[in-house]
Structure 1
Amino acid sequence: MDMSISLKKDTRKTNIKHNNREFTERGKERNDHIDFSKSDRNVYLVKNDLRELYEREFGAAKDRYNEKQQRRDRKIEDYYKHVQQSKKTRPQQEMIVQIGEQDQFQDNEANREMAKDVLQEWFQDFQQRNPQLKMYNAVIHDDEASPHMHMNFVPVATGYKKGMDTQVSFDRAIKQQDATLNQTHPFEDWREREIGFLEEKINARGIDRELVGTNDYEDMNDFKAKTKELQDLEQQIEDKQAILEPMKEFEQNFDRIISQTKEKRSMGFAGAHRVEMPKEDYDELHNMAYGSFKIKDQYERMKFTNGQMQRDLDRTKEANDNLKEENEQLREDKKMLQKENKILHRAFDLLKEQFSNQKQQFADMVGRAKGKAVESLNLKKYPTNLKRDDEQKAMNQVFQEKQQERQQQQKKSRGRGPDLGM
């Protein structure tokens, strides 16, 4: 079985009461797409106050900024309102995460439970993977057509030189927490990595990811244009054929005119024949003949052009079929590259973890060496400017070990009693 994975920004105005199903009776009537008899199956993962989160994450930065301001009108009283009034960024971000399509959940409770389990497992490590995306609300809805998750968080970025040193910024936050992201399109890269973690969860259950939303074929617009042009041309041919219909009437009129004429033989010029007819009949016959030749010529031209268009369309269809095959191969290649990319990211994470462990081991070794040096030199205090936080724990262990040795020696000395020289 294949299932699609969707993780997208919700560009609409966030409605936390809607997400948390805090409706009045009138509100329930307006949301008739929700089956409120199943709302008890929703899973509420995080429910915190947004204003409290702002105070916790930005309060100290706001105070530091205000202390530097000489003018009262430049101070920020409420950073949340300050961001709300700004057109540069949003106070928070909402993401909607979904696995599968609606038809895969109709009358299929097993799929619904599986999707909810996958979303919960993926969410458990989300904050650890994204320490600068501060979650304040997260819920899985199981009372709509398909299970899906709403996540609301505040992206916290640091290190600003202008304004507050800590501010709201999605792109900067995710780039700071993961320096390997694409610097030009960080969101797309971040999104694909998170989808990769979701894909792992469904793969573990024997489900492959279905790729949806791919671009149309490159020449599809040209193909459609040629098809439309051919249809227009065929319509013109039908119109011309309709014009040719009066030719039948012309034949009938021609017979009538001939029957009304008188053929007279002239005795001169080798017995040449001359036909006499009324002028109005002659004019009518002449106009009909001229018109028929003109229409026939146009008709033949249209048939020739139509043949060319049909051949062009056949070539375009063939090219389009080739593009379909190439596109299918590209989809397979993309799927393979995504798997390889996932392996590379995991390998990189393992290397970072291994390097971090080795770095700490080295710091512990240096810390112990420094601790022993301090003890051997009988220093009362280690120079502050030489202290390193990652070495301090190992140094303290050395000091404790030496202290324990001295205490044991003192106990042994007291146990032997005074030496009387006997």
Structure 2
Amino acid sequence: MKEKRISFCQGKGSLTHNNRDFIAENVDRCRMRDNYTFIRKDIGCVYEHLFAESTKRYNAKQKRNDRKIHGTYYESLFHKKPSNSVVTAADKRKSFYEDVVQIGKKEDSGVDTEDAQLVAACLKEYMAGYQQRNSNFVVFNAVLHMDEATPHLHIDYIPVGHYKRGQDTQNGIAQALKEMGFGSGKDAIARWRKSEIEVLNQICLAHGIRPLEPEKSRGSMSVKEYKEARQEADKLKAENVQLKSENEGISRELTETKAMLERANKKKVQLVDIGSIAVKPTIFGNKVTLDKNDYDKLQALAEKEVVSVKRTRKLTAANQQLSKENTELKSTINQQAAELAKYKKPATISVKTLMKSAKETSEKERLRSDLQKAKSFISANGLTEEFHKYKSNTKNHELE
């Protein structure tokens, strides 16, 4: 069974990106036709459908005009017209929420791999039951992207809660989670996410995929920084596996060498007790005579002992070298493991950074749209040549 890691995290919420009204650099235009849209509704219309009647009921109860909601519910809450990007109210409520769901990584489930369609089928099945499971999360935009590195879902929804005080139906994620049975408090969203991941796990298993634990959030790191860190972590992990394999090989050689030494010691020739050999004095000083059989036996034993000593010295030297290499490898593995651990530490999400990034993206999109409208206006009124002259004169003036 194939193993793949599930990613289930909160997205920044950009409908222009999700619906390809704005095309980023990492999008393969040739694959855009493979994207699949589950639902796409105007956020302003959805807000009217969800909250307009409730707003009327609330206003009907108010005796003072300054307590009534003037304009739409969206405008009263966020003080602006409906936007395709997430807007945060003064009380921290968001205009909508987004979850990004992915199975596998680029290396094992990328759009150009054989498993791309498999994970896409799992994501479609997961999305098919999403609204029924999460009745208080009203999905108004959901897209399966097949034109980036890896197939993934963007699910955008408005949380709807019901209240006894104030307006009876409001945008409220805490109340929505409570009504769906996930309790109260800061852990409610974690309990809901765990429940959704379990649904995805069962779908994966049914399709022959063994799901691994969800990946930690990238926290305050940018996408580029996160990808570089993950690639470095994967590289270190691969090197660590290789070093462990080499260490196991050296350990086996070390064990075999020790066994050879033990066998050599067991086979070492046990010299006979020289004192038991009968010797006879001669007339030639300190020299003695031996029986021919005893002499041959003594000579054979001496030769065997010399061979055994040489072999033992050689094996001892090899054993010491292997022990040294084994110690060095263990040190290297420990260093690699410490380095790898740096990349496995969960990062802390910087909400301020994410909000700033979303605001900057929204502003850039607005400026790009205004520029395009200005160019269209200039072209439509036959002012292109005068505009170029104006730009040229402006530059010369700036240089002066």
State the TM-score, normalized to the length of structure 2.
Answer: 0.49
By relative contact order (CA 8 Å, sep 6+), the higher-ranking structure is 2
Higher helix share: 1
State the TM-score, normalized to the length of structure 1.
Answer: 0.47
- Which structure: larger Rg? 1
